[in-house]
């Protein structure tokens, strides 16, 4: 089982998870014409380093916690694997989507 980035990341993309990933399995791209990140389930070692780094809680520990997005992460990972890295957004930058809240 790998970690999954869910719909909370769609349009947000803080990318703070990338810096702590020991196996570089988190890739940026555009999904539904919005910035997004995915976790490659073939590379993820389920270490858990990424989950607490996301300031809006867009990463879940199990595929069955976000099954639709688990499929999306798996499908987009091979396509986005070679995308250029993105700059980390400050964790205290307010979310762009009003339904997302910063986790304290």
The answer to the question of residue 102 being in a domain is no
The answer to the question of residue 97 being in a domain is no
The tens digit of pLDDT for each residue in 70-101 reads 999 999 999 999 999 999 999 999 999 999 99
CATH code for the domain of 50: 3.30.70.20
Report the number of distinct structural domains present in the chain: 1
The radius of gyration of the chain's CA atoms, rounded to the nearest angstrom, is: 12
Task: With cut-offs at 50, 70 and 90, classify the pLDDT of residue 39.
Answer: very high
What is the rounded distance in angstroms from the CA atom of residue 68 to the CA atom of residue 6?
A: 8
The whole-number average pLDDT for the span 55-61 is 97
The whole-number average pLDDT for the span 55-64 is 97
Q: Which pLDDT does position 1 carry in this prediction?
A: 81
CB 41 within 8 A of CB 2: yes
CB 77 within 8 A of CB 4: no
The answer to the question of residue 26 being in a domain is yes
Domain limits for position 60 = 4-80
The whole-number average pLDDT for the span 3-29 is 97
The answer to the question of residue 19 being in a domain is yes
Helices (H), the chain: 16-20, 67-80
Q: Is the pLDDT of residue 40 over 80?
A: yes
> With pLDDT > 90 as the criterion, what percentage of the chain qualifies?
98
The answer to the question of residue 45 being in a domain is yes
The length of the chain, given as a count of residues: 104
pTM of the full structure: 0.95
Q: Which residue has the higher pLDDT, 104 or 29?
A: 29
């Amino acid at each position: 089982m790998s970690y999954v980035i869910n719909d909370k990341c769609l349009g947000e993309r803080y990318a703070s998870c990338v810096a702590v990933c020991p196996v570089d399995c988190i890739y940026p791209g555009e999904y539904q014409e919005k910035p997004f990140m995915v976790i490659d389930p073939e590379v993820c070692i389920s270490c858990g380093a990424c989950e607490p780094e996301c300031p809006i809680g867009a990463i879940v520990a199990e595929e069955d916690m976000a099954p639709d997005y688990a499929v999306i992460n798996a499908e987009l990972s091979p396509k986005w694997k070679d995308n250029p890295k993105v700059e980390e957004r400050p964790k205290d930058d307010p979310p762009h989507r009003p339904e997302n809240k910063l986790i304290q």
